[in-house]
């Protein structure tokens, strides 16, 4: 499988290049994940950390899936590529064409973070 991301989507976390499409594909391989969007958010120590916004299927809406997702991802990805934080969304993350605007997702999280400071 060959995954391609825009250079601007690349996350550099602690010197490790993390391609969001690779992490999204691993998340979406989980049976209860409908869709995922992965972005890099600022980190004082690492430069950026990996943050995942995940749309779960209806069955898992009321569960605490962090542990299960981390276990699933450990089998597929190296440690620095596993999201530090998961956020859950009940709204679709992609448009009808299957596209997502990672820059808009990232900017919304940055704006929210600044408002809570």
What does the pLDDT look like over 29-62, one tens digit per residue? 999 999 999 999 999 999 999 999 999 988 776 6
Strand 47-56 to 33-43 pairing: antiparallel
**Domain span at residue 51?**
7-115
Q: Does residue 67 belong to any structural domain of this protein?
A: yes
Please check the confidence at residue 66 and state whether its pLDDT lies above 70: yes
CA distances from 65 to 17, 33, 60, 98 (A): 26, 10, 8, 24
Q: Does residue 2 belong to any structural domain of this protein?
A: no
Q: Quote the tokens at residue 78.
A: 């190296």
What's this model's pTM, rounded to 2 decimal places?
Answer: 0.86
Q: Does residue 95 belong to any structural domain of this protein?
A: yes
Q: Does residue 1 belong to any structural domain of this protein?
A: no
Q: Does residue 63 belong to any structural domain of this protein?
A: yes
Q: How many domains does the chain have?
A: 1
Q: Does residue 47 belong to any structural domain of this protein?
A: yes
Measure the CA–CA gap between 98 and 37, rounded to whole angstroms. 11
Any idea what the CATH number is for the domain that residue 95 is in?
3.30.300.30
Q: Does residue 75 belong to any structural domain of this protein?
A: yes
Q: Does residue 73 belong to any structural domain of this protein?
A: yes
């Amino acid at each position: 499988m060959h995954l391609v991301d825009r250079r601007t989507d690349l996350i550099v976390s602690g010197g490790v290049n993390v391609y969001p499409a690779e992490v999204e594909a691993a998340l979406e391989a989980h049976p209860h994940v409908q869709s995922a969007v992965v972005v890099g958010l600022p980190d004082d120590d690492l430069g950026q950390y990996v943050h995942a916004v995940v749309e779960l299927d209806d069955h898992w809406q009321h569960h605490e899936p962090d542990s299960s997702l981390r276990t699933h991802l450990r089998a597929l990805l190296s440690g620095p590529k596993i999201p530090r934080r998961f956020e859950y969304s009940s709204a679709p993350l992609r448009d009808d064409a299957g596209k997502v605007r990672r820059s808009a997702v990232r900017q919304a999280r940055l704006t929210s973070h600044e408002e809570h400071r």
